[in-house]
C-alpha cells in the first residue's frame, strides 16, 4: 500500500441493468455492469462508483484484468485509510471472539462476509495464515498484517497466495512468511482432538475450519458405531468419531500424503487401534465394499468440490448421485449418512434432490436429522449467496 490513505483515481458509472438485477448489497461489479470508466485506473486502484443517474454508489478496488471489475469496500463516502482497515478487522475479530470456542484453529476474516472482499485469514495457534485473492487487497497486505498482529497478538503471518484464482487477477503466486518466522506445521485442537496443520502444503490455508462444527455434530452420533469416512483426507471426521466412542473407523482417500498425516493424527489422539486407513478411489472402492457384504452404521461423504465452475454442475450432480447411491447401499438400517458438498454452484436443494434420487435408486428411505452449513466463523453475507457454499446433510437411513 503506497500510503495510509488512498485517493480514488477514477469514476465508474454503473449500467442501469445492474441496479435492476443485482442485490444492492452485493460487493462485486462485473465487467458487463460497467457503463463507463472516467479516468485511467490501474489494477488495484481505488475508484468511486456512481449510478447512471449520477448518484454516489460506493467505493472499491478496480481491476481491468478480472471479470469482477470492482470489489466494493464501502457504500459510504468515507476514506479508505488505516482507520478504515482497523475498524473492519476489529469487527471481524470481535465476532470470532463471540462465536468460536473450544479451538485454536478458526477463520478470522471470511472475505466478502466480513466486508473485506478478497481477504481470507485463518488462525492456527499463534500463526495467522493470510490469502489476498484480489489485486487491491494484495496491495494492502502489509498494513493488514500489522493490524492483525497488533489486534490478535499472533506471532507470525504466513502468506498462502498460491490459489489459482490469483492468476485470473493478474497476480503472481507466492508462499512465504510476511511477518515473523518459524515452523510451518502447527498443532491445533478442536475440543479433545489434536491435529497437525501444515500451513505451507496443506489444502486451502492448511485446514478445513469450515467443517469443524459438522465434525462435532457427526461425532455426537458415533458412540458404539462402525464408521466409514469417505474422502477422509487427514482423518478429521473419523478421528472425532473415534474420540466420541466409535467402535471402528475406516478412512478412505486417494491421497497417500493425506493418509500419512491421518495415521499420525490417530497416534496423536491415541485412537490408532480404532482407526484404519486405505488408499483408494472412492468411486471404485465403495462398489467393492458393497460386494463384500459388510455394512456400516455411519458413513461420511466429504468430497472435494465436484463443480468449480457453473458449467460443471451437470456432471457434478451425476457424481454426487453416484457417490451417495453407493454410500446408501453400505449403511445398515437405522444407521446414518452424512453427505457434504463444498461446491458453491451446487445449491442445498440440488444436493437434497440428488440424495433423494440416489435413495430411490438404492431403494432406501432417508429422514433428515440436520441440514447444516459452514461453521459460524464462516458467516454468510445475506446479499451475497456466494458466501454460503458448504452443505452438510445428516440423515438416518431406514
State the pLDDT at residue 307. 72
Per DSSP, the residues of 166-212 read: HHHTT---EEEEEE----SEEEEEETTEEEEEETTTSSTTSS-GGGH
Q: Which residues in the chain land under pLDDT 50? A: 1-3
CA 309 distance to own-chain centroid: 16
User: Which one, of 272, 279, 225, lies nearest residue 252 by Cα?
Assistant: 279
State the pLDDT at residue 233. 96
Helix axes 212-219, 236-243, angle to 10 degrees: 40
Given 209, 232, 342, 392, the catalytic residue: 342
Q: Alpha-carbon distance 44 to 71, whole Å?
A: 10
User: Which one, of 100, 98, 106, lies nearest residue 127 by Cα?
Assistant: 106
Please, what is the end-to-end C-alpha distance for the chain in angstroms?
58
Per-residue DSSP letter, 9: -
Q: What is the model's pTM? A: 0.94
Joined grid coordinates for residue 167: 492468476
Q: Alpha-carbon distance 339 to 238, whole Å?
A: 14
**H-run or E-run covering 36:** strand 34-38
Would you call 342 a catalytic residue per the annotation? yes
State the pLDDT at residue 5. 63
Q: How many CB atoms lie within 10 A of CB 21?
A: 9
Amino acid at each position: 500500500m503506497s500510503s495510509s490513505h488512498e485517493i480514488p483515481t477514477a469514476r465508474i458509472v454503473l449500467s442501469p441493468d445492474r441496479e435492476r438485477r443485482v442485490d444492492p448489497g452485493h460487493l462485486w461489479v462485473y465487467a458487463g455492469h460497467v457503463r463507463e470508466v472516467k479516468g485511467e485506473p490501474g489494477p488495484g486502484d481505488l475508484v468511486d462508483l456512481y449510478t447512471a443517474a449520477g448518484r454516489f454508489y460506493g467505493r472499491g478496488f478496480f481491476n481491468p484484468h478480472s471479470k469482477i471489475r470492482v470489489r466494493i469496500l464501502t457504500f459510504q463516502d468515507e476514506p479508505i485509510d488505516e482507520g478504515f482497515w482497523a475498524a473492519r478487522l476489529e469487527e471481524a475479530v470481535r465476532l470470532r471472539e463471540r462465536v468460536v470456542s473450544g479451538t485454536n484453529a478458526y477463520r478470522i476474516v471470511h472475505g466478502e462476509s466480513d466486508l473485506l472482499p478478497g481477504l481470507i485469514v485463518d488462525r492456527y495457534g499463534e500463526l495467522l495464515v493470510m490469502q489476498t485473492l484480489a489485486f487491491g487487497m494484495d496491495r494492502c497486505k502489509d498494513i493488514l498484517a500489522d493490524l492483525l498482529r497488533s489486534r490478535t497478538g499472533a506471532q507470525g503471518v504466513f502468506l498462502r497466495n498460491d490459489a489459482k484464482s490469483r492468476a485470473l487477477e493478474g497476480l503472481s503466486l507466492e508462499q512465504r512468511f510476511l511477518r515473523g518466522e518459524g515452523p510451518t506445521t502447527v498443532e491445533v485442537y478442536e475440543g479433545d482432538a489434536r491435529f497437525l496443520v501444515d500451513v505451507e502444503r496443506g489444502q486451502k490455508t492448511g485446514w478445513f475450519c469450515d467443517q469443524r462444527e459438522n465434525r462435532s455434530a457427526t461425532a455426537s452420533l458415533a458412540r458404539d458405531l462402525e464408521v466409514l469416512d469417505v474422502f477422509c483426507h487427514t482423518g478429521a471426521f473419523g478421528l472425532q468419531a473415534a474420540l466420541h466412542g466409535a467402535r471402528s473407523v475406516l478412512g478412505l482417500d486417494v491421497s497417500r500424503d493425506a493418509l500419512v498425516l491421518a495415521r499420525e493424527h490417530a497416534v496423536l489422539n491415541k485412537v490408532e487401534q480404532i482407526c484404519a486407513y486405505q488408499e483408494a478411489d472412492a468411486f471404485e472402492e465403495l462398489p467393492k465394499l458393497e460386494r463384500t457384504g459388510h455394512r456400516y452404521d455411519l458413513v461420511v461423504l466429504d468430497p472435494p468440490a465436484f463443480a468449480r465452475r457453473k458449467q460443471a454442475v451437470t456432471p457434478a450432480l451425476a457424481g454426487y448421485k453416484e457417490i451417495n447411491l453407493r454410500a446408501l447401499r453400505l449403511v445398515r438400517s437405522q444407521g446414518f449418512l452424512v453427505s457434504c458438498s463444498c461446491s458453491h454452484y451446487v445449491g442445498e436443494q440440488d444436493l437434497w434432490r440428488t440424495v433423494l434420487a440416489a435413495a430411490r435408486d438404492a431403494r432406501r428411505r432417508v429422514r433428515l436429522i440436520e441440514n447444516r452449513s459452514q461453521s459460524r466463523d464462516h458467516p454468510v453475507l445475506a446479499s451475497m449467496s456466494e458466501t454460503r457454499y458448504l452443505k452438510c446433510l445428516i440423515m438416518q437411513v431406514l
